[in-house]
């Protein structure tokens, strides 16, 4: 295990990878009815009657990442790349997540780069990896670190760069109400600890050419 993975490991294992005692669907729907009453409405009125059922179903989709394992996403490495070992960058990967403090959405773009050593993964796998972590209760900082740590652990690259740009609805809709404020997080490992490599990454993310 590399030092990077070790240093991130307490955060790499989210609640999702621990066995959780899940309630029944009926219990989940009852909880939604309670929250509707907490908001000040009547869960029995016609428009809200089927809402608990729909919310329970939507939760399954919003939080499907708890049933996914990054290992399964990154398990197929293509070694036949004619010695290609330069940067691989997938930028502008859209994602939707929910902040773990308010259960309110935050959403934006993820950009992931790595320098391969033993081969490359299918490009769509990087988007899938983002989904594994986005579809959980998250903070943007944790998600950024988790993506970098999973890349480190399963691809053993010369370096990983992850940048996430997101708008947090809990900032836009409540509290300080700053609509449009973007939060930017980065995590660099290995070769990307070199400031020149970080500049190359950021230039490619912004302009598409080095
Ligand atoms: Zn929040």
pLDDT value of residue 179 = 75
CA of 20 to the centre of ligand 1 (A): 23
Burial class (CB in 10 A: 0-12, 13-18, 19+), 14: middle
CA 138, CA 126: separation in Å to the nearest integer? Answer: 18
Q: Note if 49 is an active site residue.
A: no
pLDDT value of residue 26 = 97
Q: Note if 100 is an active site residue.
A: yes
> Which among 138, 153, 168, 197 is annotated as catalytic?
168
Q: How far is CA 127 from the centre of its chain?
A: 9
CA 192, CA 197: separation in Å to the nearest integer? Answer: 5
Confidence of residue 11 (pLDDT cuts 50, 70, 90): very low
Say which residues have a Cβ less than 8 Å from residue 68's Cβ, sequence separation at least 6: 131, 132, 135
Q: What is the pLDDT of residues 152-177, one digit of tens each?
A: 999 999 999 999 999 999 888 877 66
Helix (H) or strand (E) holding 69, with range, is none
CA of 22 to the centre of ligand 1 (A): 23
Quickly count: other Cβ atoms within 10 Å of residue 198's Cβ: 17
Q: What is the pLDDT of residues 53-89, one digit of tens each?
A: 999 999 999 999 999 999 999 999 888 888 888 999 9
CA of 171 to the centre of ligand 1 (A): 7
Q: Note if 146 is an active site residue.
A: no
Q: What is the pTM of this model?
A: 0.88
């Amino acid at each position: 295990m590399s030092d990077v993975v070790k240093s991130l490991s307490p955060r790499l294992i989210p609640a999702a990878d621990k066995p959780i005692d899940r309630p029944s669907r009926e219990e989940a729907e009852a909880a939604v009815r309670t929250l509707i009453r907490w908001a000040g409405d009547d869960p029995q009125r016609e428009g809200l009657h089927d809402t608990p059922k729909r919310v329970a179903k939507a939760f399954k989709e919003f939080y499907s990442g708890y049933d996914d394992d990054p290992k399964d996403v990154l398990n197929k490495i293509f070694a036949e790349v004619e010695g290609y070992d330069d940067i691989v960058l997938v930028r502008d990967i859209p994602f939707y997540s929910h902040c773990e403090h308010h259960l309110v959405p935050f959403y934006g773009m993820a950009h992931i780069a790595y320098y391969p050593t033993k081969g490359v993964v299918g490009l769509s796998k990087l988007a899938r990896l983002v989904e594994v972590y986005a579809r959980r209760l998250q903070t943007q900082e944790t998600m950024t670190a988790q993506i970098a740590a999973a890349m480190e652990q399963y691809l053993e690259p010369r370096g990983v760069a992850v940048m996430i740009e997101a708008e947090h609805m809990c900032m836009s809709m409540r509290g300080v109400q700053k609509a449009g404020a973007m939060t930017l997080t980065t995590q660099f490992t290995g070769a990307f600890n070199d400031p020149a490599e970080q500049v190359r990454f950021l230039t490619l993310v912004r302009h598409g050419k080095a």
